Structure 1
Amino acid sequence: MKHARNNELTDRRSAAADAKAALLTAYRAAKNAAEPTHAARQAERISLVEAREARRAERERLKHEERTRLETIAAQEQAAIVAAAAAEIEARQTAKNARISRVLKDEAARKAERDRRYAARKARQA
């Protein structure tokens, strides 16, 4: 069923303006009523943000310390590997030098033995 009364454009516009004004008045009243708690909520938000930032800074500091510790351990392990490699090279060189020295001594001993046999043979012939 249609509205019984005939709303003219001006009536509708004024009703809309009145409704808008009523909404604005209600909004302002609610805003003024919430004003005391607004400051408290804002302070709470700020403290939460500060706490969150402090936790983030602590996490970053711990990550940095852990990264530094791991880098130090890696550097120590690398130094140990290099030292072990140098010690192995030195041991191989020492063993090689000892083997060469033994070979030269054995060769000198064989030559001395050969010379002794030669001298003994010449002594028997003479």
Structure 2
Amino acid sequence: MKHQDLGERLSAARNAKQAMAAKFRQRPGSDDPAVAERRAARAAVSAAREARMAERETVRLAENARIASEREAHAVEQAEQEKRMAAEKEAGDARLEAERKAARDARYAARKARK
């Protein structure tokens, strides 16, 4: 291991600072065409991303609306079916009651005829 004295360490630190400053100064400024081009490319990518997001949102909303309308149509159809079944049950109950009444009346008439 090589031992450095204070002067060598200070000069090495100064050289490192100068190298970092030179590297920073070499960076292009904000008015550089390459920087403007990269900024424009980033803006274009961002705009395209936002357009895709808006399109996906539109598709999602349309799908949700379609599903809601299908659910509503299914609910209406089911309600109509329930109404038909209730009407059929009511008609069946009325027919059964009429048959029971007719049978009861026939029994009553038969009993009257026997006396």
TM class, shorter-length: 0.7 to 0.9
Gaps of 5+ in 1: 119-126
**Is 1:94–2:88 an aligned residue pair?**
no
> Could you state the TM-score of these two structures normalised by the residue count of structure 2?
0.78
How far 1:88 moved relative to its partner? Answer: 0.7
How far 1:19 moved relative to its partner? Answer: 3.7
Pairing of 1:1-126 with structure 2 (within 5 A): 8-29=5-26, 31-32=27-28, 35-116=32-113, 118=115
How far 1:67 moved relative to its partner? Answer: 1.4
Distance 1:25 1:103, change over 3 A: same
* Structure ID, larger Rg: 1
> Could you state the TM-score of these two structures normalised by the residue count of structure 1?
0.72
Distance 1:112 1:14, change over 3 A: same
Q: Distance in 2 between matches of 1:65 and 1:114?
A: 73
Q: Distance in 2 between matches of 1:26 and 1:99?
A: 101
Among the aligned pairs, what percent are the same residue? 29
Gaps of 5+ in 2: none
**How many residue pairs are counted as aligned between the two chains?**
114
- RMSD (Å), alpha carbons: 2.7
Q: Distance in 2 between matches of 1:26 and 1:115?
A: 124
Distance 1:12 1:99, change over 3 A: closer
Q: Distance in 1 between matches of 2:14 and 2:97?
A: 112
Letter in 2 for 1:32: P
